[in-house]
Structure 1
Amino acid sequence: MANFFLYTSLFLIWFMLFYHMFLMQGGYVFSQNYKKTAAKWTKKSHRFPTVSILIPAHNEEVVIEETLKSMIRLDYPKNKMEVIVINDNSSDRTGEIVENYARQFPFIKPVHTKPPYGGKGKSGALNNGLKEATGEMIVVYDADNTPEPDAIHYLVLGLENDPDAGAVVGKFRVTNSNKNLLTRLINIETITFQWLAQAGRWFWFRMATIPGTNFAIRKSILDRLGGWDEKALSEDTELSFRVYELGYHIRFFPMAITWEQEPEKLKVWWKQRTRWARGNEYVIFKYLFQFHKLKRKKMAVDLVYFLFTYLLFFSGILISHSIFVLNLFFDLNLSIGFVSYVLLILGFLLFVTEVTLALSFERGQLTLKNFFTVLLMYITYSQMWLILVVYASWLELKRVVLKQEVVWYKTQRFSEQKKGEKSEKVKAR
């Protein structure tokens, strides 16, 4: 029996490792060509459609001013742009700060919400902002984001030149990546995700996942879909599946860059990532049980990917870890003992290779310091994810069984980073 479980776990693990290797090959080819596409599109004459930028903000006084300043610096016709800040039942100075900027800049429009219509989470705030939006294109930024001046231009450029794209998603980078070990690990994680999962899936399947920030979507699509699902903790992933179902694809276009703050404390990271895991599990089961009704069976590619990422792959790792520990105390008569150690080492080397390759796509990121951080990442950060997914799965199961109400957790922000860390934006470009 132990051999059966071990073989099963190894299959699950190596299936995912080979799939990631496949995605990384696509990500590499894409990284060598996307700038040519951007240059070709830029040379063509194009119009400037009206854009509504939605920024949901709940108790964001620490970061909202820098975000508003970045909106002012956007290189897009201001008469074609409106920035709608949804002050979602804040109890701090968020509303006051937004109002001050709105008095100076007419394109900034505050929307203040109170219960029972406000304070329900990001999806609800976005839906309230959507009601006020007048633009042809809807762009979303989190309240801690500082997009580069040409970000909106590139997001819109993607939609204007790709009529089959329902949404265009850009790239996000970590502003406080050098704050501590945790932010360095998160920085490596985000770079790897974007070049492996986003770029790789776009290259091979013309699919990408709408992130929580730095994306543009046609307002007509949101109107057809009825906005965001307010029951979803990962409203971005859930929206992606509904865009697919309408027959559109989601384009990854990393020319559009935003910078965002990441958790600086483990407790904040844990709560944020638990919300992500629970939200994605909600999406998995929502569409898994409805799969026979879906028109676009291509969605199976992403459904299987998320199913493996959050359930099967982690189950395989959990089983293999458990068998390894048990075998230290009890003789389980494993027939694959030595081979399993070889596969463990090869898995580690493959992990390091994929992550360092992703880092090489970003200027200044493939450093000796980051390389050693990747080695540490495998035995620390990646193992924390295992525990977190188990915990999130338990919470989500309990929510479903007990029919509990979804509770939104807003990620804690931190005061402005040092000027030395801000300079990383310049180096990365």
Structure 2
Amino acid sequence: MFLMIGGYLTHRKHLKIVANLDEDLVELPTVSILIPAHNEEIVIEETIKAMVAQNYPKDKLEVIVVNDNSTDGTGKICDHYAQKYDFVKVLHTIPPQGGKGKSGALNQGLKHSTGELIVVYDADNTPEPEAVYQLALGISTDEKAGAVVGKFRVTNGNDNLLTRFINMETITFQWMAQAGRWNWFKLTTIPGTNFGIRRSVVEELGGWDEQALSEDTELSFRVYDLGYHIRFYPSAITWEQEPDSVKVWWKQRTRWARGNEYVIAKFLLNAKEISNKKVFLDLFYFLFVYILFFAGIIGSHAIFISQLFTNSPLTIGPVSNVLLVVGVFMFLTEIWLSLSLEKGQLTIKNALVSILMYFIYSQMWVLLVAYATLLELKRIVFKEEVKWYKTERIKKQKTS
């Protein structure tokens, strides 16, 4: 709830910032857009079209699609657009340099880029025409920002119950929570898409960590450790496709959870090397979310279930009953507040679905984090190689 209030305040402040910004005084940087693409023939054409449609000076823009060891028609589609537009380039990679996952593809793309600002989009993204321009504005008007982050919306949010859950999760627990952290602590985590980072910063950091499944979170910590902050700039908006089946969702989110746990372990074990104390604040946030909070929830569930089958002396008193009701009410209030800031989202149907979200989707996350933790512990104990899972795409057009 604390973060949601901060998110709301950020929303109000940002409207004033945009209204008072004199864009004519901003010198726009040269921009290189990197799009890692492995077997993305279903979605890559719409993504490239969205890049071509960007309202950004074309003499300051280059789009580099990294066709990362694809075995489908991704490369052919990319080559077609590269022939039509001078600022669109295609980098075809094969092993041993290619096929290592998103971080490896981004590192290869970085080597062939020239822009002062490196912007990253996933292959299923269709950013709005002003998105890149807004990212450039956000970082050009804040010299302390090492990177700038926009917000993303879901293209298939009304397809089924799962995508409705994901849509509300995206609005509430991703971009609104990001906005809240920015308001209170000037902390924002780089997402996997729709962000820009100064070339000088990413080069100083040596690029992306190819062992990290959550390369975005890992990069965020290193940016902070250099003494920069990561600016949240919600005027830059992109639309992306989300999993429409539990199977695909489970695989994708497991990668996210394992990746974030990898980052937690990496920086905790190397705490002595961290020079910026702000890193510890963000580290605690992730430690709380993925370890302490979920451990508490799992412990609570275990006690509840055990009482169903044993004669436990524990009882649920009146205070606990009140806390349960307050907890659900706060969860729903957070979602409804967040939905109210997005046009057409606070509907009766979404309000009712959010109730189901508490009892279904949230519990799915508890199971998933427990599963991901076991997999990550297994990887560490047996020194297993990190394997990247690419989210499966569905062939659908953007709807808003």
Shared fold by TM > 0.5? yes
Q: Distance in 2 between matches of 1:265 and 1:203?
A: 34
Unaligned regions of 5+ residues in structure 2, if any? none
Q: Give the structure 2 partner of residue 136 of structure 1.
A: 116
Instruction: Trace 1:96-107 onto structure 2 (pairs within 5 A).
Output: 96-107=76-87
Alignment deviations for residues 10-33 of structure 1 (CA, whole Å, 9 cap, x no partner): xxxxxxxxxxx2111111111112
TM-score of the two chains, using structure 2 as the length reference: 0.98
Q: Give the structure 1 partner of residue 378 of structure 2.
A: 398
Instruction: Trace 1:164-183 onto structure 2 (pairs within 5 A).
Output: 164-183=144-163
Q: What letter corresponds to residue 150 of structure 1 in structure 2?
A: E
Asked whether the 8 Å contact 2:36–2:67 carries over to 1, the reply is yes
Q: CA RMSD in A?
A: 1.1
Q: Distance in 2 between matches of 1:137 and 1:325?
A: 52
Match 2:142 to one of 158, 162, 174? 162
> What is the deviation of 1:67?
0.4
Asked whether the 8 Å contact 2:39–2:71 carries over to 1, the reply is yes
Q: What letter corresponds to residue 391 of structure 2 in structure 1?
A: T
Alignment deviations for residues 25-46 of structure 1 (CA, whole Å, 9 cap, x no partner): 1111111120221232244412
Asked whether the 8 Å contact 1:241–1:299 carries over to 2, the reply is yes
Report the 3-state secondary structure (helix = DSSP H, G, I; strand = E; otherwise coil) of the residue aligned with 1:32: helix
Q: Give the structure 2 partner of residue 303 of structure 1.
A: 283
Match 1:360 to one of 340, 358, 364? 340
Number of equivalences: 400
> What is the deviation of 1:323?
0.6
Asked whether the 8 Å contact 1:88–1:118 carries over to 2, the reply is yes
Unaligned regions of 5+ residues in structure 1, if any? 1-20, 425-429
> What is the deviation of 1:336?
5.2
Asked whether the 8 Å contact 2:151–2:175 carries over to 1, the reply is no
Report the 3-state secondary structure (helix = DSSP H, G, I; strand = E; otherwise coil) of the residue aligned with 1:173: strand
Asked whether the 8 Å contact 1:53–1:138 carries over to 2, the reply is yes
Match 2:264 to one of 279, 284, 296? 284
> What is the deviation of 1:335?
5.8
Q: Give the structure 2 partner of residue 235 of structure 1.
A: 215
Report the 3-state secondary structure (helix = DSSP H, G, I; strand = E; otherwise coil) of the residue aligned with 1:124: helix
Q: Distance in 1 between matches of 2:346 and 2:184?
A: 25
Q: Give the structure 2 partner of residue 14 of structure 1.
A: none
Alignment deviations for residues 151-192 of structure 1 (CA, whole Å, 9 cap, x no partner): 011100011100000000001000111111111110000000
Q: Give the structure 1 partner of residue 233 of structure 2.
A: 253
> What is the deviation of 1:346?
1.4
* 2:325 is equivalent to residue 345 of structure 1: yes
Asked whether the 8 Å contact 1:56–1:85 carries over to 2, the reply is yes
Match 1:209 to one of 189, 196, 206? 189
Q: Distance in 2 between matches of 1:61 and 1:196?
A: 32
Match 1:108 to one of 88, 105, 109? 88
Asked whether the 8 Å contact 2:28–2:140 carries over to 1, the reply is no
* 2:289 is equivalent to residue 324 of structure 1: no
Instruction: Trace 1:359-378 onto structure 2 (pairs within 5 A).
Output: 359-378=339-358
Aligned identity (percent) is 64
Match 2:314 to one of 334, 339, 358? 334
Higher relative contact order (CA 8 A, sep 6+): 1
Q: What letter corresponds to residue 334 of structure 2 in structure 1?
A: E
Instruction: Trace 1:26-37 onto structure 2 (pairs within 5 A).
Output: 26-37=6-17
Q: What letter corresponds to residue 382 of structure 1 in structure 2?
A: S
Report the 3-state secondary structure (helix = DSSP H, G, I; strand = E; otherwise coil) of the residue aligned with 1:33: helix
* 2:368 is equivalent to residue 388 of structure 1: yes
Match 1:51 to one of 11, 28, 31? 31
Greater displacement, 190-199 / 26-35: 190-199
Asked whether the 8 Å contact 2:152–2:175 carries over to 1, the reply is no
TM-score of the two chains, using structure 1 as the length reference: 0.91
Are the structure 2 counterparts of residues 222 and 183 from structure 1 closer, same or farther at C-alpha, using a change threshold of 3 Å?
A: same
